[in-house]
Amino acid sequence: MMWTWTDCLCVNLLFLLQRAGSERFEVLGSTRAIVAVAGDDIILPCYIKPNISAEDMRVDWFRVNLPDPQSNIRVHLYQDGRDKYHDQILSYRGRTSLFKEELKKGNTSLKLTRVQGTDDGRYKCLVESKTHFDDSTVQVNVRAIGSKPEVSIEGQKGGMGLLCVSKGWFPEPELEWLDSEGVTLSAGPSETDRNDKGFYIVKLKIPVKETDNLFTCRLRQRQQHEVIKMETEFHIPSEPILVHTDTRKVALAVIGSLGIFLMVILAFTIWRWIALCNDYEILADQLDLVNMKGCPELETIRKHAVDVTLDPDTAHPKLILLKTGNKWRRGDIKQDLPDNAERFNTVHYVLGKGGLLLRGDSTMRFR
């Protein structure tokens, strides 16, 4: 039998079609959303049908519709028989893995550990061979129950306010204030923020009026089939509460005033200490001049005390005469004084005007 060129072409086409058909597969996921509790580990299902091996295929998990509908954020990539992390988003680093022993059975599911608020969203599982590819999507709904509302008093212009804060929620909860009758108070929208793991922090403030002193902060979080409620009551004492609009400035002012007062007290204490030291030194010098034990006539001498004016031209260079003219002090260094024939140079003496010789061993004062 002779084969024509046309016969060979048909056989080759049939062979290629048969081979391509043998590698065709379908990727299946989950038709239901995966509800993930914050902190838990979850599995995002993804399977190949028929159950052919995916060990030599490319398995790519990524987020869709974040933040741009046209962009994809890589969660995990398996290619050429190994995991690759070069362009994995940082928030998933160290938290994703495939079941390597299950790849030969066509199981390409993803394990995600330590679920956090930023994990909420839609994921796509893309499986690709050399001749075919298919994908499937999985929705993950994160649930996190946060802290009980905390209430504190805050100052504000014209009076006082109450602030309610609650942290660690997903999805975002709602806050409202109620008065003692259970009537909702108008306070405007809540302030909302998110931490680095994507969990919500909500705050709501209201002004306080004198007509009521019992308030309730109520939190509600709507989930798929239920509503979680938490509330905290706060009672304001009937006694007036002094609220400073800026407690930090007041504290700094008080501390500054105390500091100045203490500095003044310290300066006064040092000044008095120096003055007392001078007085004690003068008194000690006077007692050195007259030995009280060896001179019982001290009282007699004191009764006959006279005023003496010192002659500066006769004082030894180490004697320092004070401005009053009747006191001196012995120094350690010779003063540069005029060279007088009447000046004592070898002994520490000084003459009182009138010829009275005084010994300069200590400070003296005559009355």
Say how far apart CA 117 and CA 274 lie, in whole Å: 70
b/e sequence 235-244, b meaning 16+ C-beta within 10 Å: eeeeeeeeee
User: Is 8 among the domain residues?
Assistant: no
Phi–psi pair at 255, nearest 5 degrees:
-65, -40
* Amino acid of residue 340: N
Say how far apart CA 315 and CA 297 lie, in whole Å: 28
Predicted confidence (pLDDT) per residue in 244-270, tens digit: 445 556 567 778 888 888 888 888 888
User: Is 7 among the domain residues?
Assistant: no
Say if residue 258 is in the same domain as residue 163.
no
Say if residue 136 is in the same domain as residue 27.
yes
Phi–psi pair at 99, nearest 5 degrees:
-90, 95
Say if residue 325 is in the same domain as residue 353.
yes
Q: Compute CA distances 184 → 48, 175, 225, 307, whole Å.
A: 54, 11, 25, 94
Domain with residue 78: its CATH number is 2.60.40.10
- What pLDDT does residue 309 have? 79
**Cα 165 → chain centroid:** 19
Dihedral over alpha carbons 194, 198, 199, 201 (to 10 degrees):
0
Q: Which of 192, 197, 151, 186 is nearest to 173 (CA)?
A: 192
- Tally of domains within the chain: 4
User: Is 349 among the domain residues?
Assistant: yes
pLDDT below 50 — which residues of the chain? 8, 11, 13-21, 240-245, 283, 287, 289-293, 362-367
- What pLDDT does residue 243 have? 43
Give the largest CA-CA distance in the chain. 165
Domain boundary among 259, 290, 321: 290
Backbone φ/ψ region at 146: left (φ over 0), alpha (ψ -120 to 50), beta: beta
User: Is 180 among the domain residues?
Assistant: yes
User: Is 2 among the domain residues?
Assistant: no
Token pair belonging to 78: 């398996």
- What pLDDT does residue 205 have? 92
Say if residue 72 is in the same domain as residue 41.
yes
Say if residue 89 is in the same domain as residue 191.
no
Say if residue 228 is in the same domain as residue 250.
no
Quote helix, strand, coil % in the chain, to nearest 5. Answer: 20, 35, 45
Classify residue 27 by its DSSP letter. E
Say if residue 54 is in the same domain as residue 107.
yes
Say how far apart CA 52 and CA 130 lie, in whole Å: 14
Say if residue 260 is in the same domain as residue 219.
no
Say if residue 130 is in the same domain as residue 82.
yes
- What pLDDT does residue 268 have? 81
Token pair belonging to 68: 């741009």
Element holding 14 (H helix, E strand): helix 5-23
User: Is 114 among the domain residues?
Assistant: yes
CA angle 121, 127, 116 (to 5 degrees): 25
Say if residue 106 is in the same domain as residue 46.
yes
Yes or no: say if 36 and 119 are a contact pair by the CB < 8 Å rule. yes
Say if residue 26 is in the same domain as residue 119.
yes
Q: Which of 276, 282, 362, 286 is nearest to 319 (CA)?
A: 362
User: Is 108 among the domain residues?
Assistant: yes
Yes or no: say if 154 and 162 are a contact pair by the CB < 8 Å rule. yes
Say if residue 117 is in the same domain as residue 157.
no
- What pLDDT does residue 278 have? 57
Say how far apart CA 165 and CA 118 lie, in whole Å: 21
If you search the block for the tokens 């009537």, which residue do you land on? 183
Say how far apart CA 60 and CA 76 lie, in whole Å: 6
What residue numbers bound the domain in which 351 lies? Answer: 305-367
DSSP labels, 34-68: EEEETT--EEE--EEES----TTSEEEEEEESSSS
User: Is 300 among the domain residues?
Assistant: no
Domain boundary among 107, 128, 143: 143
* Amino acid of residue 61: W
What three-state secondary structure class fits 81? coil
* Amino acid of residue 98: L
Predicted confidence (pLDDT) per residue in 304-359, tens digit: 556 677 777 777 777 777 766 667 677 777 777 787 777 777 777 777 765 555 55
